A and B are shown apart, each in its own frame.
Chain A
């Protein structure tokens, strides 16, 4: 029972407080995005903003931002409070606290949070926090993606455990100097951190004003009520599920070029069990942790967010049910079980910096389990993502650019999969070609749909993309991705999708296929990375696909008329429209 549950509040005040909290979170996110420097934050929107209560329970999150950033903020705050308490310290007005401990709530090291406590008449009432993916955090090679050969947490870069960068309003200059001296491209990174501090402070100011406006008892009661409300929404959605327990397994590539079998082709297992109006998600069966490679997933900050996100996207799909408030109540009905020492609950100091793609695959695994319970509400298997960190030197200074390469969704019960988008817990944005080429020694030579690679189905999977980056000067790159080995799962008779590929075309004319994880490698001017994104799985049997939709895909150049005939058993007339009789003959055969 909630400590403040005894105080009652009317539904009108609750609704007003809810709207005000969301409005503040949106403002914080908006300001951070607009003030920040590095494209990973301002263009890709790989940042988060959220408001939490005094105990670290999430109250509202920014509507921009990516779910994997806002979702973990409550976890950052709870762990930060524990660390401070263990140290005999506490939070005071004017503090700004930096935290990035992946074994303490952080999603991974580069996602650094700046947290500002909110006080009302001297009493702690909550926190305003932002997180952002920083370009570099002082790891062994440039950038903060593609650090795929870090052997432990220390190799991943700087670790901050509840560090006060402002203590009672006084700037801790030593910490800021350490940041400048130990991070590449530090002008950008420190600028982004300052933007985070400014944005978090605005959120704290607004939240304090809100508390003053409605009064502390009413505010607390409204917060309790709005969390209870979200909890009820989730419980009611769960209660509608059929009784049962649903197990699903998928695999990640791991290190496909590694001779050690314990580092490649690793299973992820999720068993989702309905218990009344709650769900238990048990990850038993998932591969053991890889002790010296950073594809382990922090339980708090990555695994929990992946699970929550998938469940709410399937059971409380906003396209179907409309706006759903995001707060801790949504997560209360869900219990997560992850055996200690597995990929999804690693033991310190196992490295975790490259957990992004495994975590998204875990989200897909949970969806695959739910597909058995609510087949009409899922997509077939998603195509996973890839991040490449491009870097180089300009004089004595580094330039670093991280680009997230999209995946695609599987087909759905009533629609084709979404083409060439970020999937599940990631929802970042690409960088405009016209921005990249203006500011970096890179040329984007191609950006199109990947033709002819389709997860066939009654509703086909989304198509992948093809994107090429050429280096105009010498530099380096590292790659962190998934989905080269395993095809996104087809569903209900749909065919599996198509894996991703990555190739480097050297300036000398040679070409080399690359695995989904590549530690930092030297790149020469003229070398080109060609990324072929995965195509999502098909939904339903391809021979049930509407012939007009098949004809449209052929007309659009997405597949050949041979594929129409062979895979979908649709015959086309010379003008490209479906040949009704021919199709009937093919399909009855």
Chain B
């Protein structure tokens, strides 16, 4: 079976082809075509097949990570949308939580007010009202008003319409009926109902999620259709799957309906790729560390499973979204991060980035500000002759000049300043990792750091050292780890029911019925997607909190018949999770089950593990010896450092740092005191 993974980034589209039978892997990189990324994808896939020497029609599956939805949100370029909501609540989307995003600012712009997803003139109210605890109908739906709203929106030229009614997560009947009515009046409408997108409480966040789906929906739907067509024109006969933010792939049909689920498509694939690389070397507890030019994405994998974000921690473009997402923590720290001395004289690095253009001074494209990359150049860690496999040169004097300017402002020497840039950026990265580990009761010392992306392997060892992490894994092709991650994905479907049940008054039949209904729903979805039942499994979970709290923690629920003992086991897990997360538990307090969840997994074929070639003696792998600056007892020191070619490294031989390992898509820094080995799994393993 032949699998193709395509990850579209801002500058490059990364492609990988894996043959599950022969184990052969081919990689390819083409320029992204920002106006319509499907052009670059289709060309790239064609080129990849040619490169691998396989007929295009022999590709079985294409797996794709896309940033269409994310970019539409970030650039605020989506559809003009309409909203139909409960009478009396026209401005929930506008008032939000009545909180300003910034405490100390008069001149800030509030995203949902300054750049609304739905303008007020297109927000229509209709008479209806549901009430808790079960979504009882207090006021029936005024169907004629829905028709009138649909007509008004149609006449205003609005195609994308969200419907959000209060308490619809308890009873979706009104929203569903309203959708039927809208489609009767406006058959071309793209209708999103909030109970489909995010059936959980908190009206501002749920309505916003529905509105975001409407906002990006048409763009994403058209893109997927175009991509499907172009791939066909290129000669492919394969089926297409798209990476969703939850770390699974979904069918184009699902994406067309719920495009908001693809918001973190790209970074999610990175976490999967990191997990795959870690598994090659037998590691199941991993911190994935994907560093590019502008940002670093951090994910946590425990016992082979990535962690999911809690519903209230997911934001895109300043808007809160209630959709299942891998917990990925992104900070503005990357190779292009700019170092500066602020007005008060403090030394800062990031979050501003020089980006790809003008980029670091070293790129010779007119960059005049000192960046992290320039610091690496000045310290001798990036080797001009070998940067990007020699495809791009580095302007060393330009880097020296900008770092000297910084050093002068700080009253430091050139090398001290350059080391300072790295110390500060590494500390930011370590803090970001702490916020996802130490602060959540996870000891990072029990984890390995998987460093990838263009800049991850430059920083991995020093960041790991700061956190007391003993091992750093650099995957075989660090620059295309996300594309690799796509190949390892499964189909993943989430279902959810809001429960609001107290541990002191459990309605076990209702819990059982909810789980059964969700399991049936997922089964039907898999059947519709043509997935063999044998290749599927489901897992139950629940979001719980102490009664009265406002935030939930997700804990697993066992399968099988629902009885008191099964629920009690889940509640015991909640107490333990609370203690781990917050350092404290309240064992005597009443626990409230807020949401019940079922996740369905449709297992997909996986690529074979790489089998690295034997390598050569160390001397043959040594390109040269260079002087590279490292901090020794806090002071810069020039050390004689071997520059080694990754593809020529001898397998299984432990090599002492300092060393610089070069390969086409990245450079790995092994500091003094560390050792490393190219292992049989295809990874570099640095031991600190």
Task: Give A contacts to B, CB under 8 Å.
Answer: 10-12, 14-16, 18-20, 23, 26-27, 30-31, 33-39, 42-43, 45, 63, 66-67, 187-188, 191, 194-195, 198-199, 201-202, 226, 229-233, 236, 309, 312-314, 316-321, 324-325, 367, 377-379, 404, 406, 409, 412, 414-415, 418-422, 427-430, 432-435, 437-438, 443, 445-449, 465, 555-558
CA separation between A75 and B166, bound complex, in Å?
43
Distance A446 CA – B85 CA, assembled complex (angstroms): 12
Most B CB contacts (10 A, CB to CB) among A34, A318, A367, A555 go to A34
- Contact call A447/B583, Cβ cutoff below 8 A: no
With both chains docked as a complex, state the minimum distance between the C-beta of B27 and any C-beta of chain A, in angstroms.
Answer: 36
Selected contact of B423 from candidates A16, A67, A445, A556, CB within 8 Å: A16
A557-B120 CB under 8 A given contacts A15-B346, A433-B166:
yes
- The answer on a CB contact under 8 Å between B439 and A30 is yes
Given the known A-B contacts A36-B549, A449-B94, are A556 and B99 also in contact in the complex, defined by CB atoms under 8 Å?
Answer: no
Closest to B88 in A: A446
Query: Which of chain A's residues have a CB closer than 8 A to the CB of B106?
Result: 313-314, 317, 367, 377-379, 409, 412
Q: Quick check: A37 and B435 within 8 Å, CB to CB?
A: no
Q: When chains A and B are docked, how far (Å) is the Cα of A555 from the Cα of B123? A: 11
Contact of B428 among A19, A38, A418 (CB under 8 A): A19
Decide if A447 touches B95 in the complex (CB within 8 Å).
Answer: yes
Tell me whether A427 and B100 are in contact in the complex, defined as CB-CB below 8 angstroms, given that A27-B439, A379-B106 are known contacts. Answer: yes
Contact A556 B121 (CB under 8 A): yes
Contact B121 A202 (CB under 8 A): no
Q: Which one of B343, B410, B578 lies within 8 Å of A11 (CB-CB)?
A: B410
Separation of A553 and B185 alpha carbons in the complex (Å): 28
With A191-B589, A316-B104, A422-B98 given, is the CB distance from A447 to B91 under 8 Å? Answer: yes
Contacts A229-B344, A418-B100 given; indicate if A317 touches B107 (C-beta within 8 A). yes
Q: Are A12 and B104 neighbours in the complex by a CB distance under 8 Å?
A: no
Q: CA A54 – CA B98 in complex, angstroms?
A: 36
A contact residues around B104 at 8 Å (CB):
67, 309, 312-313, 316-318, 324
User: What residues on A are CB-neighbors of B582 within 8 Å?
Assistant: 31, 34-35, 198-199, 202
**Across the interface, do B343 and A233 meet the contact criterion of CB distance under 8 Å?**
yes
B622 interface residue per 8 A CB criterion: no
Select B103's contact among A67, A420, A557, beta carbons within 8 Å.
A67
Could you pull out 10 A-B pairs where Cβ atoms are within 8 angstroms? Answer: A23-B434, A35-B578, A233-B343, A319-B109, A379-B106, A434-B169, A435-B550, A438-B133, A449-B91, A465-B98
Collect the chain B residues with CB atoms within 8 Å of residue A30's CB: 439
- Among B301-356, those with CB < 8 Å from A are 342-349
Q: Knowing A42-B549, A432-B201, A438-B500, say if A418 contacts B345 (CB, 8 Å).
A: no
B234 at the interface (CB under 8 A from A): no
Query: Quick check: B113 and A432 within 8 Å, CB to CB?
Result: no
Contacts A447-B89, A447-B95 given; indicate if A37 touches B548 (C-beta within 8 A). yes
**B105 interfacial by beta-carbon distance below 8 Å:** yes
B95 touches A23 (CB 8 A): no
Q: A15-B346, A556-B119 are in contact. Are A45 and B99 (CB under 8 A)?
A: yes
Interfacial chain A residues near B427, Cβ < 8 Å: 15-16, 19-20
B202 within 8 A of A: yes
Chain B residues 543-577 with CB under 8 Å of chain A are 546, 548-551
In the complex, what residue of chain A is closest to B584 when comparing beta carbons?
Answer: A198
A229/B345 in contact, CB under 8 A? yes
Chain A nearest CB from B439 CB (Å) reads: 5
Please measure, in the bound complex, the distance between the C-alpha atom of A377 and the C-alpha atom of B121, giving whole angstroms.
31
Question: Is A16 a contact partner of B107 (Cβ separation < 8 A)?
Answer: no
Please report the C-alpha to C-alpha distance between residue A432 and residue B202 in the assembled complex, in whole angstroms. 5
Q: Tell me the number of A-to-B contacts counted with CB atoms below 8 Å.
A: 226
Give B410-424 as 1s and 0s: 1 = Cβ < 8 Å from A's Cβ atoms: 101000000110011
**Partner-A contacts on B (CB < 8 A):** 88-92, 94-95, 97-100, 102-110, 113-114, 119-121, 131-133, 166-167, 169, 201-204, 342-349, 410, 412, 419-420, 423-424, 427-428, 431, 434-435, 439, 500, 546, 548-551, 578, 581-584, 586, 589
Asked if B344 and A11 make an inter-chain contact with CB atoms under 8 angstroms apart, the answer reads: no
Are B347 and A14 in contact, with the CB atoms below 8 A?
A: yes
Distance from B48 Cβ to chain A, minimum over Cβ atoms (Å): 42
Closest residue to A35 on the B side, CB-wise?
B582
Q: By the criterion CB–CB under 8 Å, are B549 and A35 in contact?
A: yes
Contact of A35 with B344 at beta-carbon distance under 8 Å, contacts A422-B98, A448-B90 already known: no
Q: Which residues of B contact A226 (CB under 8 A)?
A: 346
Q: Contact check, A318 vs B201: say whether CB atoms are below 8 A apart.
A: no
Question: In the complex the two chains form, is B98's CB within 8 Å of A420's CB?
Answer: yes
A232 to B103, CA, bound (A): 21
A4 to B546, CA, bound (A): 45
Partner of B91, one of A188, A318, A420, A432: A420
Task: Return chain A residues, CB-CB under 8 Å to B90.
Answer: 448-449
A420 and B95 contact, CB distance less than 8 A: yes
CA of A27 to CA of B132 in the docked complex: distance in angstroms? 34
Contact of B347 among A15, A42, A236 (CB under 8 A): A15
A198-B582, A313-B104, A318-B102 are contacts. A12–B120 as well, Cβ < 8 Å? no
- Asked whether, in the complex, the Cβ of B550 is within 8 Å of the Cβ of A43, the reply is yes
Given the contacts A27-B435, A232-B345, A427-B103, A449 and B95 also touching, CB distance less than 8 Å: yes
Nearest A residue to B108 by beta-carbon distance? A319
Write the chain B residue with the least CB distance to A22. Answer: B431
Minimum Cβ distance to chain B for residue A462 (Å): 8
Extra contacts, 17 of them, besides A23-B435, A202-B583 (Cβ < 8 A), are A15-B349, A19-B424, A19-B427, A23-B431, A31-B583, A232-B345, A309-B104, A313-B105, A320-B107, A415-B107, A415-B109, A418-B100, A419-B95, A422-B98, A449-B95, A465-B95, A557-B120
Who on chain B is nearest to A404 by CB?
Answer: B98
Shortest distance in angstroms between A380's beta carbon and chain B's nearest beta carbon?
10
Assess the A236–B420 pair: CB atoms within 8 A: no
**Interfacial chain B residues near A230, Cβ < 8 Å:** 344
B201 touches A421 (CB 8 A): no
A406 to B100: give the CA distance in the assembly, Å.
11
CA distance A414 to B107 in the complex (A): 9
- Collect the chain A residues with CB atoms within 8 Å of residue B169's CB: 434
A433 to B119, CA, bound (A): 22
A434-B203 in contact (CB<8A): yes
The CA of A475 and the CA of B91, in the complex, are separated in Å by 29
A408 to B118, CA, bound (A): 21
Q: Which residues of the partner chain A approach B589 to less than 8 Å between Cβ atoms? A: 191
Residues of A within 8 A of B110 (CB): 418, 421
Nearest 9 interchain pairs by C-beta: A42-B550, A37-B548, A233-B344, A556-B120, A198-B584, A319-B108, A11-B347, A429-B97, A232-B344
